[in-house]
Amino acid sequence: MYKEKVFDAGKYDFIGKAKYIVPAWTLLMFIGIFAIGYKGLNYGIDFAGGTEIQVQFQNSVEAEMVRKTTSDLGYHKASVQSFGDNNEFLLRMEAIQGKDDKETNELQLAMITKVTEGLKENIKDNVLEIRRVDSVGPQVGDELKRNSILATFYSLLMILIYIGIRFDYKYAPGAVFCLLHDAIIMVAIYAVFEREVNVQTMAAILALIGHSLNDTIVNFDRIRENEHIHKGENFLKIVNRSVNDMLSRTILTSVATELAVIALYFLSDGVIQQIAFTLGIGIVLGTYSSIYIASPLVIAVDHLEQKRARARMRTVKA
């Protein structure tokens, strides 16, 4: 069976370039944290609470007309978003809170009726179809937000434990920092471009963490294997050799996955398109971070371990 690597092993000095790339992307990560804190996140109703009404008109309608109608009805802070090519609009209304659950439900129903009837009356010579209505209370939104953060935290904690058991604890910091970097940069992109953050966003971020972790583990496994094969060789050279060994696999897997995600993005809309957007950027983040962040951090931790070992030896001799 004939097999040829797309990239020649040992040809590229990834680790040599890491001393320039790691500080740059670390700085970018902290800029991302600042952007998240400064701009905040555009939470969807899953987290902020409120009501979403998805409607579709039979004939073409301008989004501005829908916005004007909802504003004239008294909902000045309503968000109107058009998507797809089927005259569909997503209306996002602020949460309404009554004295109890019964009153809250009545107020929400009255608002939905007022908005849909108002659209029918004000946009003439058209047929309106209500495709979907979702309502989430403020308390439920806060609980979902908290649970999403906890899910991300626990996933990173379990990854830390898994890497420590599966390999060695010198590999764990690199893996976790790599995944944190990917997640923070992705959330920062959402903050900068004011994209909606909801439960589907968090699911997509957890998926990109999984993809990035897979690339990282593949590289770590080859590093560990080469440590045994090339005992006594400089650890930096072993890591660089290992990254090169897996380069064909990393690039081909990422490109194949990226092509599928790009197709999903352009051939779908709504939730699927949002997930495809996150995964599309996340695959790029995960590919370079597994090479330029996780691997150099393994070298840094190994260097610290060697330094401590030499210090202990000097203490024993003294």
34-66 confidence digits (pLDDT tens): 999 998 888 887 787 788 888 888 888 888 888
Q: Is residue 283 pLDDT above 80, yes or no? A: yes
Q: Is residue 1 pLDDT above 60, yes or no? A: no
Among 3-17, 41-55, 292-306, name the one with the lowest average pLDDT: 3-17
Among 52-66, 84-98, 224-238, 294-308, name the one with the lowest average pLDDT: 84-98
Question: Ranked by mean pLDDT, which of 4-8, 264-268, 278-282, 313-317 comes out on top?
Answer: 278-282
Give Cα 244 distance to the centre of its chain: 27
Task: Give the position of tokens 């330029």.
Answer: 292
Q: Are 295 and 218 in contact (CB under 8 A)?
A: no
Q: Are 202 and 47 in contact (CB under 8 A)?
A: no
> Across the beta sheet with 79-83, what order do the strands follow?
79-83, 88-93, 50-57, 128-136
Q: Between 246 and 156, whose confidence is greater?
A: 246
Report phi then psi at 91, rounded to 5: -100, 125
**93-107: string of b/e by CB count within 10 Å (b at 16+)?**
bbbbeeeeeeebeee
Burial class (CB in 10 A: 0-12, 13-18, 19+), 76: exposed
Helix, coil or strand: residue 144? helix
Other beta carbons less than 10 A from residue 183's beta carbon: 23
Report phi then psi at 173, rounded to 5: -60, -40
- The dotted CATH code for 50-136 is 3.30.70.100
Rounded to a whole number, what is the largest CA-CA distance in the chain?
94
Residue 7's pLDDT band (boundaries 50, 70, 90)? Answer: low
Other beta carbons less than 10 A from residue 19's beta carbon: 9
At position 188, the amino acid (one-letter code) is A
Helix, coil or strand: residue 43? strand
- In this prediction, residue 260 carries a pLDDT of 94
- In this prediction, residue 85 carries a pLDDT of 65
Q: What is the mean pLDDT of the chain?
A: 84
Q: Between 285 and 25, whose confidence is greater?
A: 285
Q: What percent of the chain has pLDDT over 90?
A: 18
Instruction: Enumerate helices (H) and strands (E) in the chain, giving the number of each.
Output: 11, 6
Q: Could you tell me which of 150, 146, 170, 173 has the C-alpha nearest to residue 224?
A: 170
Q: Is residue 258 pLDDT above 90, yes or no? A: yes
Q: Between 242 and 104, whose confidence is greater?
A: 242
| Secondary structure (DSSP) of 183-195 | HHHHHHHHHHTT-
- In this prediction, residue 186 carries a pLDDT of 93
Q: Could you tell me which of 100, 99, 112 has the C-alpha nearest to residue 50?
A: 112
Helix, coil or strand: residue 196? strand
Other beta carbons less than 10 A from residue 288's beta carbon: 19
Q: Are 95 and 88 in contact (CB under 8 A)?
A: no
Domain ranges of the chain: 14-43+141-317, 50-136
- In this prediction, residue 6 carries a pLDDT of 55
| 271-297: average pLDDT | 90
Please tell me the class of the 14-43+141-317 domain.
mainly alpha
User: Taking the CA of residue 40 as centre, how many other CA atoms within 13 Å lie in the half-sphere pointing to its CB?
Assistant: 4
Q: Is residue 4 pLDDT above 80, yes or no? A: no
| 81-94: average pLDDT | 79
